[in-house]
Amino acid sequence: MPGLYLEDFEPGRVFEHEIRRTVTEMDNTLFSCLTHNPQPLHIDHDFSAKTEWGKPLVNSLFTLGLMIGISVNDTTIGTTIGNLGMTDVKFPKPVFHGDTIRVRTEILSRRESKSRPDAGIVEFKHVALNQRDEIVAECVRQGMMRKRPA
C-alpha cells in the first residue's frame, strides 16, 4: 500500500495501526549493542535483577523507533521526504522483554511548505501501548510529506 500524500492527512484523523510487535530480548540486546549503548540496565541480567525493575528494561530509543516504524505502513511509506524533528518524547511506563506493542497515530496539523511547492509538513502524535493498554511511549513528530502528483 502506498503512503498517504499531504492532502490525505486531515487534522484530527486517528490511525489505530493493525501491526503489533512483541519485543524480544534479542531486539533489546542487538539494538543496544549496535548503537554502542553499554547501559547494564538493558544488557546485563544480573545487574538488572538488583534494580527496582528486577529485570532488563528495553532501550527507550528502540521503543521510540518501533513506535514510529509501526506507523509507517499506514501513513508515510513511499510518500515521506523526511523527518523534521520529534518533540514531547515521553516514556511513562517501561517496556520489558515479551511486551507486545501497538500504536495509535493522530494527525495534529498539516500545512503547505513555504520553500517547496511539491510538499508540506504534517505533525503526527504517536502513542505506543503495551498489552495491558498502558502508554509506554509517545511523541509528536514533524514530517515533510509529498503532495499528490498533478
Express each pLDDT in 13-34 by its tens digit: 999 999 999 999 999 999 999 9
Does residue 149 surpass a pLDDT of 70? yes
Residue 60: what pLDDT? 97
End-to-end CA distance of the chain: 20
Whole-number Å distance between alpha carbons of 33 and 43: 8
Task: Tell me if residue 88 falls in helix, strand or coil.
Answer: strand
Does residue 1 surpass a pLDDT of 60? no
Architecture of the domain defined by 11-146: Roll (3.10)
| Radius of gyration from C-alpha coordinates of the chain | 17
Task: Tell me if residue 45 falls in helix, strand or coil.
Answer: helix
pTM of the predicted protein model: 0.94
Query: Each residue of 76-88: pLDDT tens digit?
Result: 999 999 999 999 9
Consecutive H or E run containing 70: helix 60-75
Work out the number of other CB atoms within 10 angstroms of the CB of residue 102.
Answer: 18
